[in-house]
Amino acid sequence: DAHTTHKTRKDHADKQVVTEIMARCFIPTLITNVPWEGFRFVGHEIRIAEATDCYGAVVWPSALVLCYFLETNAKEYNLFDKNVIEIGAGTGLVSIVASLLGAYVTATDLPELLGNLQYNISHNTKMKCKHLPQVKELSWGVALEKNFPRSSNNFDYILAADVVYAHPFLEELLVTFDHLCKETTIILWAMKFRLEKENKFVDRFKELFDLEELSSFPSLDIKLYKAMKKNRRSA
């Protein structure tokens, strides 16, 4: 029936795009032992050094989904000369792609991740980007007003890939989104669904932000959202 046909088409589209996204990885980590992974975005080969000792030290599929979206929607979501911050940047792939697209980027994460993050960002953006990206500590909910004063925050975009999972800082994460977000800021957020807890976060998030699903990849359990602050004066 019509529903099944629609679902089959959707599943097919999902698989096709996911195949395209995965084809951007050019070192199959499963069968080699090199300490870096390669990706192709925005006409560049991006090499990402990974560490195996912490969560943020590998590239997560949500990051690939977000990079692919940024590259293929560069007209509608034009990052050229825009102010962009990434939270929970991990290895830095999303920030690197945003820089290659011409944005002013601030890549942030916990202090223990910053060494590897800075390494990846420097190696992949030097001489290739209009604006050299910055790397800065941002622990969710911590010293936000001191390190990122509301009065000087001026981000056009907040990028986030796979920042919601079973960690104890979900409320702090929400506070962080809220703190960094002005009336005109667009949040682009790739979210991997693993547990019930994550659906609750989306509900909490919707209390503060207008949320729009841009795309869905059921085979990866990933959704890509666009969000803006609720109750904006007409922007």
Give the nearer residue to ligand SAM in terms of CB position, either 45 or 81.
Answer: 45
Residue 161 is a binding residue for ligand SAM (CB under 6 A): yes
Binding residues for ligand SAM restricted to 14-33, rule: CB under 6 A: none
Give the nearer residue to ligand SAM in terms of CB position, either 26 or 55.
Answer: 55
Nearest to 63 by CA among 24, 26, 31, 36: 24
- C-beta separation of 60 from 30 below 8 A: no
3-state secondary structure of 118: helix
- To 10 degrees, the CA torsion angle through 217, 88, 202, 80? -70
CB burial of residue 165 (10 Å; 0-12, 13-18, 19+): middle
Q: Which of 55, 78, 197, 199 binds ligand SAM (CB under 6 A)?
A: 55
Residue 159 is a binding residue for ligand SAM (CB under 6 A): no
Q: Which of 72, 73, 118, 139 binds ligand SAM (CB under 6 A)?
A: 139
- C-beta separation of 15 from 219 below 8 A: yes
Question: Can you say whether the dihedral through the CA atoms of 144, 148, 152, 156 is positive or negative?
Answer: negative
Q: Measured between alpha carbons, how far is 24 from 165 in angstroms, rounded to an integer? A: 25
Give the nearer residue to ligand SAM in terms of CB position, either 3 or 111.
Answer: 111
Which residue number is nearest to ligand SAM in terms of Cβ? 56
- To 10 degrees, the CA torsion angle through 180, 223, 190, 60? 150
Residue 133 is a binding residue for ligand SAM (CB under 6 A): no
Q: Which of 39, 140, 157, 177 binds ligand SAM (CB under 6 A)?
A: 140
Angle among Cα 127, 131, 135 to the nearest 5 degrees reads 100
Residue 188 is a binding residue for ligand SAM (CB under 6 A): no
Q: Which of 21, 109, 224, 229 binds ligand SAM (CB under 6 A)?
A: 109
Q: Which of 157, 162, 189, 223 binds ligand SAM (CB under 6 A)?
A: 162
Please identify, among the stretches 18-26, 108-116, 124-132, 149-157, the one whose residues bind ligand SAM according to the rule CB under 6 A: 108-116
Total of chain residues touching ligand SAM, rule CB under 6 A: 20
* Contacting positions for ligand SAM (CB under 6 A): 55-56, 59-60, 62-63, 88-91, 109-110, 113, 139-140, 161-163, 167, 169
